[in-house]
C-alpha cells in the first residue's frame, strides 16, 4: 500500500471518472433522501461529509471490522481533519456511488479518501478525505492494534 498525505492523496492515483477499475477502493451505492436536500432539491453541502462517513463505515464492515466491534474493544476513531471539494450537485432521489479507500494507516491515525459519483452518468460530485485518530473510552490517544491496521489496509 502506498503511503499518501492529504496533499498527495490516493485520489491522484485514480481516474475519478472510473473508480471501478481499482480493486482497493470499496464502493457503496445509496440514494439521496429528501431530508438531505435543500429547498431546491440539491444535497445540502454538509451532507457530503455524512456520505463520507457512510462510505467509511461500510468499508470497515465489508472488511470484517464493523465500527461496533471496535467500540466493543474499547477503541474509538474520531475525526481530527476533514476535507471536501465539491465538484457537482447531487439531487433528490439520485443514486450516488461512494468510493472509499484507506490511503494511510499508522499506529494512531488513519487517512480515508473518498470519491462520490452519480450512479447514472458517473459524474464527479465530490472528493475528499478524513483523518481519524484512535482513542480509548477516556478519549486518550492510543495505538491502533496491528490487527486493525492490517484489516483496514488489506485488498478487497
Active site residues: 38
Scanning 31-142, the segments in alpha helix (DSSP H) are 47-62, 67-72
Burial class (CB in 10 A: 0-12, 13-18, 19+), 54: middle
DSSP state of 22: -
- Give me the residue label for grid cell 472510473: 18
Cell numbers of 137, please? 473510552
Amino acid at each position: 500500500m502506498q503511503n499518501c498525505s492529504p496533499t498527495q492523496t490516493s485520489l491522484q492515483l485514480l481516474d475519478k471518472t472510473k473508480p471501478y477499475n481499482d480493486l482497493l477502493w470499496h464502493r457503496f451505492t445509496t440514494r439521496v433522501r429528501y431530508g438531505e436536500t435543500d429547498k431546491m432539491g440539491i444535497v445540502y453541502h454538509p451532507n457530503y461529509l455524512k456520505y463520507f462517513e457512510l462510505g467509511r463505515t461500510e468499508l470497515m464492515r465489508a472488511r470484517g471490522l464493523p465500527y461496533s466491534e471496535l467500540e466493543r474493544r474499547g477503541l474509538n476513531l474520531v475525526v481530527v481533519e476533514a476535507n471536501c471539494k465539491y465538484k457537482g450537485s447531487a439531487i433528490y432521489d439520485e443514486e450516488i456511488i461512494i468510493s472509499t479507500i484507506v490511503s494511510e494507516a499508522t499506529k494512531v491515525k488513519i487517512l480515508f479518501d473518498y470519491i462520490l459519483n452519480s450512479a447514472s452518468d458517473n459524474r464527479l460530485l465530490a472528493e475528499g478525505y478524513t483523518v481519524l485518530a484512535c482513542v480509548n473510552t477516556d478519549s486518550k490517544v492510543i495505538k491502533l492494534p496491528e490487527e486493525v491496521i492490517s484489516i483496514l489496509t488489506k485488498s478487497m
